[in-house]
Chain A
Amino acid sequence: MTVSLTHLQRLEAESIHILREVVAEAERPVMLYSVGKDSAVMLHLAKKAFFPGTPPFPLLHVDTTWKFRAMYALRDRAAADAGMELIVHKNSDAEAQGINPFDHGSLHTDLWKTEGLKQALTAGGYDAAFGGARRDEEKSRAKERIFSFRNAHQRWDPKAQRPELWRLYNARKARGESMRVFPLSNWTELDIWQYILAEQIEIVPLYLAAPRPTVERDGMLLMVDDDRFRLAPGEVPVDRSIRFRTLGCYPLTGAVESEATDLTQVIQEMLLTTTSERQGRAIDHDQSASMEKKKAEGYF
Chain B
Amino acid sequence: MGTNMTSPSPLRGEGRGEGLSQAIPLDTAPLHGPLPASGEREYRPDALIAEDIHAYLAQHQHKSLLRFITCGSVDDGKSTLIGRLLYDTRAIFADQLTALEADSKRVGTQGQNIDFALLVDGLAAEREQGITIDVAYRFFSTARRKFIVADTPGHEQYTRNMVTGASTADAAVILIDARKGVLTQTRRHSFLVHLLKLRHVVLAVNKMDLVGYDQAVFDQIVADYRAFAGSIGIADFTAIPISGLGGDNIAAGSTAMPWYDGPTLIDHLETVDVGTDAAQQRAFRLPVQWVNRPSLDFRGFSGLIASGTVRPGDPVRVLPSGRTSRVARIVTMGGDLPEAVAGQSVTLTLADEVDCSRGDVLATADAPPQVADQFQATLVWLDETALLPGRSYWLKLGTQTVGATVQEPRHAIDVNTMAELSVKTLGLNDIGVAEVYTDRPLVFEPFEEGADLGGFILIDRTTNATVAAGLLSFSLRRAQNVHWQAIDITREAHAQQKGQTPRLLWFTGLSGSGKSTIANLVEKKLFALGRHSFLLDGDNVRHGLNKDLGFTDADRVENIRRIGEVARLMTDAGLIVLTAFISPFRAERDMVRAMLPGEFVEIFVDTPLAEAEARDVKGLYAKARSGEIANFTGISSPYESPEHPNIRIDTTRESPEAAAERIVEHILGVWSPDL
Contact surface of A with B, Cβ cutoff 8 Å = 2-14, 16-17, 20-21, 23-24, 47-54, 135-136, 138-143, 158-159, 161-168, 170, 172-174, 185-186, 188, 190, 194, 197-198, 264-265, 267-268, 271-276, 279, 288-289, 292-293
A residues near B122, Cβ cutoff 8 Å: 138-143, 292
Q: In the complex, which residue of chain B has the Cβ closest to the Cβ of A7? A: B65
The verdict on A275 contacting B281 (CB below 8 Å), with A7-B63, A9-B344, A13-B304 known, is no
Nearest Cβ on chain A to B575's Cβ, whole angstroms: 37
Nearest Cβ on chain B to A131's Cβ, whole angstroms: 16
> Out of A10, A194, A272, which one reaches B61, CB within 8 Å?
A194
The verdict on A136 contacting B167 (CB below 8 Å), with A186-B148, A274-B94 known, is no
Q: How far is the CA of A12 from the CA of B298 in the complex (A)?
A: 23
Q: In the complex, which residue of chain B has the Cβ closest to the Cβ of A9? A: B344
> Out of A20, A52, A190, A276, which one reaches B294, CB within 8 Å?
A52
Q: How far is the CA of A143 from the CA of B120 in the complex (A)?
A: 9
26 contacts between A and B (CB under 8 A): A10-B276, A10-B343, A13-B304, A14-B345, A16-B345, A17-B303, A50-B294, A52-B298, A52-B300, A143-B135, A143-B136, A158-B123, A163-B469, A164-B466, A165-B469, A166-B451, A167-B168, A170-B459, A170-B466, A172-B459, A174-B464, A194-B60, A198-B61, A264-B54, A271-B49, A292-B122
User: Considering residues A138, A143, A186, A272, which has the most beta carbons from chain B within 10 angstroms of its beta carbon?
Assistant: A143
When each residue 451-465 of chain B gets 1 if its CB lies under 8 Å from chain A and 0 otherwise, what string results?
A: 110011101000011
List which B247-282 residues lie within 8 A (CB) of chain A.
274, 276-277, 280-281
Q: How far is the CA of A268 from the CA of B396 in the complex (A)?
A: 44
Other A-B pairs, 18, CB within 8 Å; known A142-B136, A174-B464? A4-B277, A10-B276, A13-B304, A14-B304, A16-B345, A23-B290, A139-B122, A142-B138, A143-B137, A163-B161, A165-B167, A168-B456, A190-B60, A198-B61, A271-B46, A276-B95, A288-B103, A292-B122
The verdict on A275 contacting B164 (CB below 8 Å), with A7-B63, A172-B394, A188-B139 known, is no
When each residue 433-468 of chain B gets 1 if its CB lies under 8 Å from chain A and 0 otherwise, what string results?
A: 000000000000000000110011101000011100
Nearest Cβ on chain B to A226's Cβ, whole angstroms: 29
Interface of B is mostly: mixed
A residues near B280, Cβ cutoff 8 Å: 2-3
Nearest Cβ on chain B to A103's Cβ, whole angstroms: 28
Whether the Cβ atoms of A170 and B168 lie closer than 8 Å is no
Whether the Cβ atoms of B464 and A272 lie closer than 8 Å is no
Whether the Cβ atoms of A48 and B333 lie closer than 8 Å is yes
Q: How far is the CA of A49 from the CA of B102 in the complex (A)?
A: 43
Listed from nearest, the 4 A-B pairs whose CB atoms lie closest are: A139-B122, A53-B294, A7-B65, A16-B345
Nearest Cβ on chain A to B136's Cβ, whole angstroms: 5
Nearest Cβ on chain A to B629's Cβ, whole angstroms: 44
Query: B531: CB under 8 A from chain A?
Result: no
Query: B160: CB under 8 A from chain A?
Result: yes
Whether the Cβ atoms of A165 and B455 lie closer than 8 Å is yes
Query: B96: CB under 8 A from chain A?
Result: yes
Nearest Cβ on chain A to B407's Cβ, whole angstroms: 22
Q: In the complex, which residue of chain B has the Cβ closest to the Cβ of A25? A: B401
Whether the Cβ atoms of A186 and B137 lie closer than 8 Å is yes
Q: In the complex, which residue of chain A has the Cβ closest to the Cβ of B43? A: A274
Q: How far is the CA of A170 from the CA of B64 in the complex (A)?
A: 28
A residues near B451, Cβ cutoff 8 Å: 166-167
Q: How far is the CA of A53 from the CA of B64 in the complex (A)?
A: 30
| Chain B residues within 8 Å of chain A by Cβ, number | 88
Query: B341: CB under 8 A from chain A?
Result: yes
Query: B238: CB under 8 A from chain A?
Result: no
Nearest Cβ on chain A to B130's Cβ, whole angstroms: 15
The verdict on A163 contacting B164 (CB below 8 Å), with A140-B122, A143-B135, A288-B99 known, is yes
Whether the Cβ atoms of A21 and B93 lie closer than 8 Å is no
Q: How far is the CA of A53 from the CA of B134 in the complex (A)?
A: 38
Whether the Cβ atoms of B164 and A164 lie closer than 8 Å is yes
B residues near A9, Cβ cutoff 8 Å: 343-344
Q: In the complex, which residue of chain A has the Cβ closest to the Cβ of B454? A: A166
Nearest Cβ on chain A to B335's Cβ, whole angstroms: 10
Q: In the complex, which residue of chain A has the Cβ closest to the Cβ of B151? A: A142
Whether the Cβ atoms of B466 and A5 lie closer than 8 Å is no
The verdict on A7 contacting B64 (CB below 8 Å), with A13-B344, A165-B457, A275-B93 known, is yes
Whether the Cβ atoms of A272 and B452 lie closer than 8 Å is no
The verdict on A271 contacting B290 (CB below 8 Å), with A165-B469, A166-B455 known, is no
Q: How far is the CA of A3 from the CA of B133 in the complex (A)?
A: 38
When each residue 371-411 of chain B gets 1 if its CB lies under 8 Å from chain A and 0 otherwise, what string results?
A: 00000000000100000000000101101000000000000
User: Considering residues A52, A158, A165, which has the most beta carbons from chain B within 10 angstroms of its beta carbon?
Assistant: A165
The verdict on A51 contacting B333 (CB below 8 Å), with A5-B64, A165-B469, A166-B451 known, is yes
Whether the Cβ atoms of B45 and A271 lie closer than 8 Å is yes
The verdict on A161 contacting B139 (CB below 8 Å), with A6-B62, A20-B345, A24-B290 known, is no
Query: B517: CB under 8 A from chain A?
Result: no
Q: How far is the CA of A53 from the CA of B103 in the complex (A)?
A: 49
Whether the Cβ atoms of B292 and A50 lie closer than 8 Å is yes
Query: B289: CB under 8 A from chain A?
Result: yes
The verdict on A4 contacting B64 (CB below 8 Å), with A54-B294, A142-B136, A168-B455 known, is yes
Whether the Cβ atoms of B465 and A5 lie closer than 8 Å is no
User: Considering residues A170, A186, A267, A279, which has the most beta carbons from chain B within 10 angstroms of its beta carbon?
Assistant: A170
Nearest Cβ on chain A to B167's Cβ, whole angstroms: 4
B residues near A165, Cβ cutoff 8 Å: 163-164, 167-168, 455, 457, 466, 469
Nearest Cβ on chain A to B323's Cβ, whole angstroms: 22
Whether the Cβ atoms of A6 and B457 lie closer than 8 Å is no
Whether the Cβ atoms of A166 and B343 lie closer than 8 Å is no
Whether the Cβ atoms of B163 and A167 lie closer than 8 Å is no
Nearest Cβ on chain B to A250's Cβ, whole angstroms: 22
When each residue 327-354 of chain B gets 1 if its CB lies under 8 Å from chain A and 0 otherwise, what string results?
A: 0000111000001010111010000000
Q: How far is the CA of A293 from the CA of B344 in the complex (A)?
A: 36
A residues near B95, Cβ cutoff 8 Å: 274-276, 279
Q: How far is the CA of A142 from the CA of B456 in the complex (A)?
A: 24
Query: B53: CB under 8 A from chain A?
Result: yes
A residues near B46, Cβ cutoff 8 Å: 271
Q: How far is the CA of A5 from the CA of B63 in the complex (A)?
A: 9
